[in-house]
Amino acid sequence: MPLITLRDIVKSYDGVLALDHVNLEVDRRDTMAIIGPNGAGKTTLLKIVAGIEKPTSGEVYYEERRIGEGESEFLRRRCTMVFQRTVLFNTTVYNNIAYGLKVRGLPKEKVRRRVGEALRLVKLEGFEKVSANKLSGGQQQRVSLARALALKPEVLLLDEPTANLDPETTSLIEDLMGYINREEDMTIIMATHNIFQAQKIPKRAALLLNGKVADIGLVEEVFLKPSVNLASFARLENIYTGTAKILENGTSLIRISDKVQIEVAFKKAGRTTIFIRPEDIIVSKKPLESSMRNTLGGSIVEMSDLGSIVRLRVDVGETFTTQITKLSFEKMGLNVGSKVFLSFKASSVHLV
């Protein structure tokens, strides 16, 4: 019997459809990734499971109980959501984590014990008296996660849990997700646009496109089987469309935006769509002296620790995805917000 069942869920905001007849089942102790691009409806889906939003139509079941009108509190007692944008109270770390426990009327000693357990899980022991607003972004996200874990929910809902976080915090959160699922029997549903993270942690995955479930199944099934839907989502990385003009040297220059122009090794004029493999882009802290035709400066906005490789998303006026070895990453002392340069050959740009 599924723990959570969504049947024909529709959600619209002022006539704009966010979820379009979504059907989904999540088993107890499951780990599921809801993957898809920004705007696909991932956060809305989590909010409905959490009892924060009500569907426009459709049915939500928790085990065999249909959640009817006015029963959102039943879900909120069992499902806790950690948002991508951390919002903490202007008080100590202890008070932030203890707040929900106090609201639920737990005895003072039990509150103290739960807060201590949660801090140990997120590796913030000794931070009880520190003002939450003085913490780094990564530490604040760990406090937000600790606040959720202290409630000991049956279902933990995570919205882009490691977006814009440093590799150390990302690795900690990813390891913690596996631990609490395994040791605490906690069901985890994670919304992410990060394909690599979705393959690394969950057992199951659902691909959400334009508010609809396009694919669902075991992670290896969703990511390894041939799928037009997955291909359309995966191709969002380093796919750009612009206007090309042919240069005198036989190459072409494609204007992607006001800030980004890319030189390519083929002759093409007019509307053009191109693709650049992340592994063909070199990352450096200073512009390279080389024969490469393209060098773009920007800052790191997101990173994913994949073991020996670190995947980076860099804003240069457009967002590029690239990857470097962890050794190079550490030697350069990179982090979210670091200024970097991306370089790649004109021949590394492929026509789509």
61-64 contacts at long range (C-beta below 8 A, 24 or more positions apart):
61/2, 61/4, 61/5, 61/6, 61/7, 62/3, 62/4, 63/1, 63/2, 63/3, 64/1
Confidence of residue 48 (pLDDT cuts 50, 70, 90): very high
Q: If you average pLDDT over residues 176-189, what whole number do you get?
A: 94
Q: Is the pLDDT of residue 66 over 90?
A: yes
Angle of CA points 262, 268, 270, to nearest 5°:
85
Which residue in the block uniquely carries the two structure tokens 């959640």?
67
Which residue intervals of the chain bear CATH 2.40.50.100? 239-351
Six-digit token pair at 310? Answer: 């670190």
Average pLDDT, the chain: 91
pLDDT band of 22, cuts 50, 70, 90: very high
Of the pLDDT bands very low, low, confident and very high (cuts 50, 70, 90), residue 289 is confident
Nearest to 148 by CA among 198, 79, 62: 79
Rounded CA-CA distance 350/352 in Å is 6
List Cβ neighbours of 162 (8 Å cut-off, separation of 6 or more).
169, 170, 173, 174, 194, 197, 304
CB 113: neighbour CB atoms within 10 A?
14
Q: How many whole angstroms separate alpha carbon 180 and alpha carbon 198?
A: 17
CATH class of 4-234: alpha beta
Side-chain half-sphere exposure of 152, counting CA atoms within 13 A = 12
SS3 assignment, position 206: strand
pLDDT at 145: 96
What is the reported pLDDT for 87?
87
If one counts every other C-beta atom within 10 angstroms of the C-beta of residue 342, the result is 21
Q: How confident is the model at residue 231 (pLDDT cuts 50, 70, 90)?
A: low
Q: Is the pLDDT of residue 226 over 60?
A: no
C-alpha torsion 42→48→52→58, nearest 10: 140
Whether the full predicted model's pTM is greater than 0.95, yes or no, is no
Dihedral angle at the C-alpha atoms of 163, 164, 165, 170, nearest 10 degrees?
30
Helices (H), 77-208: 93-103, 108-121, 137-150, 167-183, 195-200
Residue ranges of the chain assigned to CATH 3.40.50.300: 4-234
Average pLDDT over residues 330-340: 94
CATH architecture of 239-351: Beta Barrel (2.40)
* 8-state DSSP, 189: E
Tell which wins on pLDDT, 35 or 350.
35
pLDDT on residue 222 = 82
pLDDT band at residue 276 using 50, 70 and 90 as cut-offs: confident
Mean pLDDT for 196-216 is 88
